[in-house]
């Protein structure tokens, strides 16, 4: 099947407007389309970054033309900067104001991506009219939100005032701000710093909290639109005419949090099958354990109402959505506090919080699942906790964490999803090492060891199938290359591994 052929078509409905469907039967991994962004640049609330390659900077070097932060002479020549804000700032003599801490949010960056949008509109009016101007901006709803005044002060007035670009109307600039806020997708530079990209075709896809596509953005850092490409693939089997869904939220969030995010940032109430299910399609990612009875699970009585009553499935205990949301917020706060703690301390603190909420949350609750995902990444890669260092009890713990996570991912991230590929990669190692230990101790015979070794190789092969589609500029793509090499070596040396165990 040719990767140049676009395998979707656009339909329209009164309820959702434009949406996309498969133009033929799709198999997992089939490329549906690729595209370059209309514009890309810093996210809102960005810290200081290079306006060429978008890597974090300390602001020690400023562009020799416009005096805004870049990494150095090479980055100041990149088109994404030189042909956009650099010209505007230098012509208007708008200087970058020194900041105390470059890692803090820098409001001076709020105007960059909207300004690039305005300039691209002039360069490519045809694409603007055909693909961008028809995008939803929800300006009427946004006018009543704090974001409107924020944009008015930090973007609209800045562009029309100090930047001397009053040829652009306030209405147009607000329209662009809305289009970016509603339709832009996050991407990562090779330095793994998050930026935002406006991909017109990708933005057509409707939201569903269980996506059936997978998109990967390759921003290789050379500073042109053509150097930033999104590739959209089928994650699962999709029949001809089947609607294509992407997800605008983080899949591991519980329903209350996902719906709140979508309502505040995308201006709609999600009614997808997952959001409509009190048990989140039997994953119980929102469920709590009942504290009054042994087997009860507390679930929502009406997922469309965030403040509704929540009831135990086995006894008469009741609470409400607001109380549950407070519990979730408290747990999220604890997660945030340990997010950047690595090493042995990071493992210990996460395990402590995991045990703390084990009696409160359903085993598959979103926050238990989030901790599993983090622990899987730490066990095997932390000093004192490398795979070769881990005792059998911790190897078994990592295997258990991976399998439990996979049970949830099979439902909420089915098919060729990035997190499934990473989890499968993390699973293959402990399976192999644990089996080798058991064989050496005489706990299993040679045939059982060979079966376990083959299971490890097959698991790694599944990871390769997913991760091979990730851009090599991203950590997942680099992991995919490592996985491919390891998979080939394990297959070639199977007999040697058995004989030398």
Burial of 384 (0-12, 13-18, 19+ CB in 10 A): exposed
469 and 413 inside one domain: yes
Whether 259 is in a domain gets the answer: no
DSSP percent split of the chain into helix, strand, coil, nearest 5: 45, 15, 40
Do residues 68 and 89 lie in contact, with contact meaning Cβ atoms separated by under 8 Å? yes
- Neighbouring residues of 185: CB distance < 8 A, sequence distance ≥ 6: 196, 197, 198, 199, 202, 203, 215, 217, 230
27 and 171 inside one domain: no
* CATH for 423: 1.25.40
The strand pair at 194-198 and 185-188 is best described as antiparallel
Starting at the edge strand that comes first in sequence, how are the strands of the sheet with 39-42 ordered? 39-42, 194-198, 185-188
Q: Could you tell me which of 183, 308, 204 has the C-alpha nearest to residue 255?
A: 308
Q: Could you tell me which of 409, 447, 195 has the C-alpha nearest to residue 281?
A: 409
C-alpha dist (Å) from residue 309 to 36, 282, 302, 321: 46, 19, 8, 6
Whether 378 is in a domain gets the answer: yes
216 and 343 inside one domain: no
Q: What is the pLDDT along the chain (501 residues), one digit of tens a residue?
A: 344 689 999 999 888 889 999 999 999 999 999 999 999 999 999 999 999 999 999 999 999 999 999 999 999 999 999 999 999 999 999 999 999 999 999 999 999 999 999 999 999 999 999 999 999 999 999 999 999 999 999 999 999 999 999 999 999 999 999 999 999 999 998 888 899 999 999 999 999 999 999 999 998 766 777 888 999 999 999 999 999 999 999 999 999 999 999 999 999 999 999 999 999 999 999 999 999 998 899 999 999 999 999 999 999 999 999 999 999 999 999 999 998 898 899 999 999 999 999 999 999 999 999 999 999 999 998 888 899 889 999 999 999 999 999 999 999 999 999 999 999 999 999 999 999 999 999 999 999 999 999 999 999 999 999 999 999 989 999 999 999 999 999 999 998 888 887
Do residues 225 and 40 lie in contact, with contact meaning Cβ atoms separated by under 8 Å? yes
Residue with tokens 């075709």: 201
What secondary structure letter does DSSP report for 97? P
Produce one character per residue of 275-296: b if its CB has 16 or more CB atoms within 10 Å, e if not. bebbbbbebbbbbbbbeeeeeb
31 and 43 inside one domain: no
358 and 476 inside one domain: yes
What whole-number distance in Å separates Cα of residue 339 and Cα of residue 334? Answer: 9
Whether 260 is in a domain gets the answer: no
Helix (H, G, I), strand (E, B) or coil at 3: coil
User: Which residue range(s) make up the domain with 136?
Assistant: 39-185
48 and 6 inside one domain: no
Whether 261 is in a domain gets the answer: no
Q: What separation, in Å, do the N-terminal and C-terminal C-alpha atoms of the chain show? A: 43
Helix (H, G, I), strand (E, B) or coil at 271: coil
Q: How many structural domains compose the chain?
A: 4
């Amino acid at each position: 099947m040719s990767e140049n052929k676009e395998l979707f078509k656009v339909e329209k409905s009164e309820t959702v407007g434009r949406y996309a469907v498969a133009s033929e039967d799709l198999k997992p991994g089939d490329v549906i389309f690729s595209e370059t962004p209309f514009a890309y640049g810093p996210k809102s609330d960005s810290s200081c970054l290079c306006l060429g390659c978008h890597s974090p900077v300390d602001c020690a070097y400023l562009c020799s033309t416009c005096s805004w932060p870049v990494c150095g002479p090479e980055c100041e020549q990149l088109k994404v900067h030189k042909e956009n804000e650099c010209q505007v700032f230098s012509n208007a003599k708008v200087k970058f104001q020194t900041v105390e801490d470059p890692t803090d949010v820098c409001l001076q960056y709020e105007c960059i991506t909207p300004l690039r949008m305005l300039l691209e509109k002039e360069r490519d009016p045809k694409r603007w009219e055909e693909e961008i101007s028809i995008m939803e901006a929800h300006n009427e709803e946004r006018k009543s939100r704090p974001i409107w005044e924020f944009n008015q002060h930090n973007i609209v007035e800045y562009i029309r005032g100090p930047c001397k670009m009053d040829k652009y109307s306030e209405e147009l600039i607000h329209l662009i701000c809305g289009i970016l806020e509603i339709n832009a997708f996050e991407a990562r530079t090779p330095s793994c710093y998050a930026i935002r990209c406006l991909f017109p075709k990708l933005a057509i896809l409707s939201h569903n909290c269980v996506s059936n596509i997978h998109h990967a953005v390759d921003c290789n850092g050379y500073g042109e639109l053509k150097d930033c490409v999104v590739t959209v693939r089928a994650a699962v089997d999709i029949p001809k005419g089947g609607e294509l869904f992407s997800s605008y939220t983080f899949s591991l969030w519980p329903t209350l949090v996902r719906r709140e995010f979508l309502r505040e940032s995308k201006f709609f109430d999600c009614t997808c099958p997952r959001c409509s299910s009190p048990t989140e399609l039997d994953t119980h990612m929102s469920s709590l354990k009942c504290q009054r009875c042994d087997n009860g699970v507390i679930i929502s009585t009406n997922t469309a109402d965030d403040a509704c009553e929540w009831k135990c499935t086995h006894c008469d205990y009741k609470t409400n959505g607001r109380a549950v949301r407070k519990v979730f917020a408290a747990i999220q706060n604890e997660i945030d506090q340990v997010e950047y703690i690595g090493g042995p301390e990071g493992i210990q603190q996460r395990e402590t919080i995991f045990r703390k909420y084990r009696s409160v949350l359903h085993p598959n609750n979103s926050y238990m699942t989030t901790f599993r995902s983090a622990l899987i990444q730490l066990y095997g890669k932390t000093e004192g906790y490398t795979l070769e260092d881990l005792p059998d009890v911790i190897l078994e713990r990592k295997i258990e964490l991976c399998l439990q996570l996979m049970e949830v991912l099979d439902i909420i991230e089915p098919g060729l999803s990035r997190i499934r590929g990473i989890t499968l990669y993390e699973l293959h190692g402990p399976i192999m090492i644990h089996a080798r230990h058991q064989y050496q101790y005489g706990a299993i015979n040679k045939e059982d060891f060979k079966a376990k070794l083959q299971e490890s190789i097959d698991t790694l092969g599944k990871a390769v199938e997913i991760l091979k589609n990730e851009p090599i500029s991203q950590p997942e793509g680099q992991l995919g290359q490592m996985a491919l090499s390891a998979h080939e070596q394990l297959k070639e040396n199977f007999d040697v591994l058995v004989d030398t165990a």
